[in-house]
Structure formats: structure tokens, C-alpha cells
């Protein structure tokens, strides 16, 4: 039976997709998004790591057999959508993808929607939707060209071919590639390094980066200034200053 595991580790939550098979097919859906919302709503959680169960796949995408059985007209594109991580909801808390094996289709799109991607050396990455007669969706045509150079993004999206972990790292899809036994340690290490910082400052930094992508430099600098100001009036800012002066670990409260 497929399920989404949700394991809290201090200020980090590990969210694991476990499908009915070792490819974790069909796991990028409502149950996963509900758990991501739980993460957003929990003030004690400051970073999430998302991965797939087993060693073969992060997620190999949607269940194409079930998808192919659908009949009748789809909802018009102008109808109201329920936004989630992939479709554009605001997620200012950071999310790390630990890509253990194949990240294909919806799995690749989920990884792209995360902020950082650490991959095992046996990982592959691909968005094959064009091969099935449909342009890639779930944000892939927008996120991939923003994440890597346009030429490689075009090659991936127009051919639908998958690439190796080494190629994905070379193009900038993955932040780092490690031997599979080291994957979770590497992903958790990044999450812990993030949560060692004041969480409100982390969220403001992510928001400045993401919103700034669509702004001019002048507008982006203004946004950065506006987001920086309120963080300097938080309890955590004062704690950071005192901890530095007193040469001790800081104890942040997200306040």
C-alpha cells in the first residue's frame, strides 16, 4: 500500500514517498502535498527533505496506465486551481530533494520545485512528456529554463530524453552527486546547515531570491531591502548577535 512517511528530526522533517512498487510511481499527488502543507504549518519545522523509498527511484512519475484511461473533456484552463508546491503556492520554507535513483516525469518536476537537489550516483533525470504527445507540465517548462542554461533545458524538454546524474550535475540540475549510501547523510547535512541559521532570515532570503527572478535589478534590490528590515527586529536577530558576541551556539525560536 502506497503511503507518505513523515519523520520529524528536530527542526527537519524527512518526507518519504513509498509507492506500491520500487519506482514510487504515482506518488506526486494530494497525499504528498498535504504533508508539505503540514510542514508549512508546523512552526517547529524549518527545513524539509523529500525523497523516495528504496534505492531505485525518487519517483518515476505518474501512473501512465491510469492516466491513459481518462476520457472526456478536461477542465478549462481558466478555472480556479488549488495551488500546491508544484503549481505555484508560496513555500518560503526551504525544501531539499534527495534524489535516490530515477526522477522521471512528475518525479523530476517535484525535484525542480524543491530548492536544492542532492542526487545519488545512480540517479537519472528526465521529463519525457513530449514523447507521449503532450507538452511537459507541472511547471517544468518554466522551472527548468530558470534552473539551468536555456540550451540544455531545450534539449531535455524537446527530446524528452533522460540524462545521467553526472550530466544533470554538469548542467546544474543537481547541486551535488554522491555515492548512494551517502545520499541521506548529504541531504540531511544540508538541511541541518540551513536550520542552524535563524529560520525567519532563511525564509526572507528564499523569498527575495524567488521573487527577484522576475524583477529588474533595481526592483530586486528594493525588495531585498524591504525583506531585510523586519528580520532585524526579531528575537532571533538579537539572539544571533548575542550568541556571536558570547561565543556560544544560538538558540533560535522563529520569532
pLDDT per residue over 103-127, tens digit each?
A: 999 999 999 999 999 999 999 999 9
**What is the side-by-side order of every strand in the sheet holding 95-99?**
3-9, 12-18, 47-52, 95-99, 116-120, 176-178
Dihedral angle sign, alpha carbons of residues 166, 167, 170, 173: negative
Average pLDDT over residues 41-49: 97
CA distance 153 to 246: 48
CA distance 79 to 73: 13
- Find the farthest-apart pair of alpha carbons in the chain and give their distance in angstroms, rounded: 67
CA distance 4 to 132: 28
Confidence of residue 74 (pLDDT cuts 50, 70, 90): low
CB 168 within 8 A of CB 123: yes
pLDDT at 73 over 80: no
Q: Which of 63-72, 126-135, 185-194, 217-226 has the lowest mean pLDDT?
A: 63-72
Q: What is the pTM of this model?
A: 0.92
Other CB atoms within a 10 A radius of the CB of residue 174 amount to 24
What the chain holds in terms of domains, given with CATH numbers, is 3-195 (3.90.226.10), 199-246 (1.10.12)
CA distance 168 to 152: 10
C-alpha cell at 99: 534524489
Instruction: Quote the radius of gyration of the chain (alpha carbons, Å).
Output: 19
Q: Which residue has the cell 511537459?
A: 136
DSSP, residue by residue, 165-187 = HHHHHHHTSSSEEE-GGGHHHHH
Confidence of residue 197 (pLDDT cuts 50, 70, 90): very high
Please report the pLDDT score of residue 62 as a whole number.
83
DSSP label at residue 3:
E
Other CB atoms within a 10 A radius of the CB of residue 150 amount to 10
C-alpha cell at 166: 553526472
Amino acid at each position: 500500500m502506497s503511503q507518505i512517511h513523515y519523520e520529524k528530526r528536530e527542526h527537519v522533517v524527512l518526507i518519504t514517498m513509498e509507492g506500491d512498487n520500487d519506482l514510487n510511481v504515482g506518488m506526486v499527488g494530494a497525499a504528498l502535498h498535504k504533508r508539505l502543507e503540514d510542514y508549512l504549518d508546523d512552526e517547529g519545522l524549518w527545513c524539509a527533505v523529500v525523497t523516495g523509498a528504496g534505492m531505485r527511484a525518487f519517483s518515476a512519475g505518474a501512473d501512465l496506465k491510469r492516466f491513459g484511461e481518462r476520457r472526456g473533456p478536461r477542465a478549462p484552463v481558466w478555472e480556479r486551481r488549488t495551488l500546491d508546491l508544484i503549481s505555484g503556492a508560496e513555500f518560503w520554507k526551504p525544501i531539499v530533494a534527495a534524489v535516490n535513483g530515477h526522477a522521471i516525469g512528475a518525479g523530476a518536476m517535484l525535484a525542480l520545485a524543491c530548492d536544492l537537489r542532492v542526487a545519488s550516483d545512480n540517479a537519472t533525470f528526465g521529463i519525457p512528456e513530449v514523447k507521449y504527445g503532450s507538452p511537459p507540465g507541472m511547471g517544468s517548462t518554466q522551472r527548468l529554463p530558470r534552473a539551468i542554461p536555456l540550451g540544455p533545458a531545450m534539449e531535455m524538454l524537446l527530446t524528452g530524453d533522460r540524462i545521467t546524474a553526472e550530466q544533470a550535475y554538469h548542467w546544474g540540475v543537481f547541486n551535488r552527486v554522491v555515492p548512494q549510501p551517502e545520499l541521506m547523510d548529504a541531504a540531511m547535512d544540508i538541511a541541518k546547515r540551513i536550520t542552524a541559521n535563524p529560520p525567519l532570515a532563511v525564509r526572507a532570503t528564499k523569498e527575495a531570491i524567488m521573487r527577484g527572478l522576475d524583477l529588474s535589478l533595481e526592483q530586486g534590490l528594493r525588495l531585498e531591502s524591504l525583506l531585510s528590515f523586519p528580520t532585524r527586529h526579531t528575537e532571533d536577530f538579537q539572539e544571533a548577535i548575542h550568541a556571536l558576541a558570547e561565543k556560544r551556539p544560538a538558540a533560535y525560536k522563529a520569532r
